[in-house]
Structures are given as C-alpha cells and as structure tokens.
Amino acid sequence: MSTNTVLDRFRLDGKVAIVTGASSGLGVAFGKALAEAGADLVLAARRADRLENTRALIEERGRRALTVTADVTQPDDAQAVVDAALAEFGRVDVLVNNAGKGTAVPATRETPEEFREVIDINLNGSYWMAQACGRVMKPGSSIINVASVVALTSGRLPQAAYSASKAV
C-alpha cells in the first residue's frame, strides 16, 4: 500500500510553468496552485501593475516568479514570454493558456471588430503561446488550454465569439 498523497503524485518541484492572463481571476488561482505544487512561475498578462500582486502571492508560497507584460495576440510577445522564461529559469515545462476575453453581445449586433478581438485573444493567442512553448518544451511537458462549457451550449447567453473561440 502506497502512502503517497494525491499532492505527492502531482508535485512540480524543479518545473517551470507559464501562466497567461495571470493578472486576475483564474490566472491568479492557477499560479497559486502551481506554486503550491512546487513550480516556479512565469506570469504573463497585459496589466503589469496587477501582475505584481500575483507575483507576491507566488513568492509567499516560497516559489520564484517572473512577470512579463505581454499581449498574447502578438506572436512576438508570445515569443518574448518564452525567451524570458528560458533566460530566468532555463526551461519551460507547463503552459497554462488562460488569457481570454468574453463578450455579452448578441451575434446579430456584434461588430466584426468585437468578434475579431475575442477570437484573437482566446484562439490565436493560445496558438501563438503554444507554438512558442512547443519549440522549447521537452517530452513530458504539458500545454493546458482553458476551455469553457459555453463552447458546447449557449446557455441563452449572447456570446457567439466567445463560444466559437473556446470550441476549438
């Protein structure tokens, strides 16, 4: 009989994780959980001031954290996040593609610009980050793409762009 706990089986000691959208909400929660599991973190988001709050939470848990201001819709920014991770930690083991945006605009009134903005962050941004990380990740690494149940059902919510971007 094993005496390992569930947490023992999911330890991330010596691993480096990138979390996008790390300035609020789920991004903060993912960062904290990964730090508690033993990972060092690269925290990426557009809002630099709020990233500092997340960094402090990670460091309170005894882990190292690097903040990178980035817009995942820009392939160069995605690459810059990975480059910063490699410069600071020498590796990338986990990517949590969490950056995202939702809307509450009926499809009949959503402008092309509003639709494109959601798709660009939720879909294209995840792709650019996965591509940049995939170039340097070793076998056994993980890419976690945050999806949504809204991709499967509208739930009577007017979120055409969000549903489309999370269905992929």
Question: Which residues are identified as catalytic?
Answer: 162
Token pair 């309170």 in the structure block, residue:
60
CA gap 34, 16 in Å, rounded: 9
**Conformation bin of residue 160: beta by default, left when phi > 0, alpha when psi is -120 to 50:** alpha
Q: Which amino acid would we find at residue 78?
A: A
Which residue, 4, 52, 57, is CA-closest to 30? 57
Q: What is the DSSP string of 5-62?
A: -HHHHT--TT-EEEEESTTSHHHHHHHHHHHHTT-EEEEEES-HHHHHHHHHHHHHTT
Strand partners, 104: none
Burial track 123-138 (b if 16+ CB lie within 10 A, e otherwise): bbbbebbbebbeeebe
